[in-house]
């Protein structure tokens, strides 16, 4: 099955929530864990126990694993393997973006069957030009995986690039939306190329009507976005929107049962 099909089935079973695994130093400390690979692994293993088989998508943030060097990356590899083994879709939040053979190497690492870093999808940056993502698009299609391209993020620094207007009058973010829509055209029910649009961006002015793909909406919960905000940004139906919650769930650790209860509470809030 294509990634878009598998994601659709996962959302139908578990709801649209995407839960992040962000082993931030502050969270390790609040869980009473050491700031080393042992603490990282304990944190990650607890998250896998809590979330595996219970949510549509889990999103490990690669940077917090990379910060611990090769042993931290090894923990990330085990997280990806164990979550996929539980039947849970894994979105590796790596935000990779480059050109030519370098982008092809990133695609091989994160999107090719057999790579220990390959989840079901990866976040990518299109800001070297959407065309630079061609190796990732090709690898995703060949391996039944997906990508989520940054379109409009909630950080204030992003606006100077993402909301800038090109010669054709479209914003840069809209050009990313339109390129993703072209990649998804004709795929049913939704395509394999998703976008990242912050849940707190407010009136974004984007035309998403032809996207025919999923939207990852970080910022739900701890960063302030509510269900009402999601509907204001994306419309009342929220079809194809994956609200992402990380620290708002993770603050309930270190017990796996408490994390599961937090997930259930967030899921119920999305049904209101």
CATH of the domain at 101: 3.20.20.70
pLDDT the model gives residue 220: 82
Structure tokens at 117: 């870093």
pLDDT the model gives residue 223: 65
Answer yes or no: is pLDDT of 224 > 80.
no
- What pTM was computed for the model? 0.96
More confident residue, 227 or 182: 182
Q: How confident is the model over 191-201, as a mean pLDDT?
A: 95
Tell me the residue range of the domain where 23 lies: 3-270
Q: What is the pLDDT of residues 48-73, one digit of tens each?
A: 999 999 999 999 999 999 999 999 99
As for how many domains the chain has, the answer is 1
Answer yes or no: is pLDDT of 31 > 70.
yes
Asked whether 120 and 92 are in contact (CB, 8 A), the reply is no
Q: Work out the burial of residue 194: count CB atoms within 10 Å of its CB; fewer than 13 is exposed, 13-18 middle, 19 or more buried.
A: buried
pLDDT the model gives residue 219: 87
φ, ψ (nearest 5 deg) of residue 171:
-70, 160
φ, ψ (nearest 5 deg) of residue 5:
-70, -45
Catalytic residue among 95, 251, 252, 260: 95
Told to judge if 95 belongs to the known catalytic residues of this protein, a careful annotator would answer: yes
């Amino acid at each position: 099955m294509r990634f878009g099909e598998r994601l659709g089935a996962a959302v139908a079973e578990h709801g649209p929530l995407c839960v992040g695994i962000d082993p931030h130093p502050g969270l390790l400390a609040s869980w009473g864990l050491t700031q080393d690979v042992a603490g990282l692994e304990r944190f990650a293993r607890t998250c896998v126990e809590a979330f595996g088989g219970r949510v549509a998508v889990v999103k490990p943030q690669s940077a917090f694993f990379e910060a611990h060097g090769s042993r931290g990356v090894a923990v990330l590899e085990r997280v990806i393997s164990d979550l996929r083994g539980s039947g849970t879709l894994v979105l590796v939040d790596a935000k990779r973006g480059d050109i030519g053979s370098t982008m092809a190497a990133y695609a091989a690492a994160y999107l090719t069957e057999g790579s220990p870093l390959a989840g079901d999808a990866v976040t990518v940056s299109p800001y070297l030009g959407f065309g630079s993502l061609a190796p990732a698009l090709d690898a995703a299609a060949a391996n039944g995986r997906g990508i989520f391209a940054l379109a409009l993020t909630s950080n204030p620094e992003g606006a100077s690039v993402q909301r800038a207007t090109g010669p054709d009058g479209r914003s840069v973010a809209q050009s990313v939306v339109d390129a993703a829509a072209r990649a998804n055209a004709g795929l049913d029910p939704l395509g394999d190329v998703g976008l990242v649009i912050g849940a707190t961006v407010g009136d974004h002015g984007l035309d998403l009507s032809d996207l025919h793909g999923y939207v990852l909406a970080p910022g739900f919960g701890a960063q302030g976005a509510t269900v009402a905000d999601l509907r204001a940004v994306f419309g009342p139906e929220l079809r194809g929107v994956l609200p992402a919650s990380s620290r708002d769930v993770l603050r309930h650790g270190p017990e796996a049962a408490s994390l599961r209860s937090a997930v259930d509470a967030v899921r119920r809030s999305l049904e209101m």
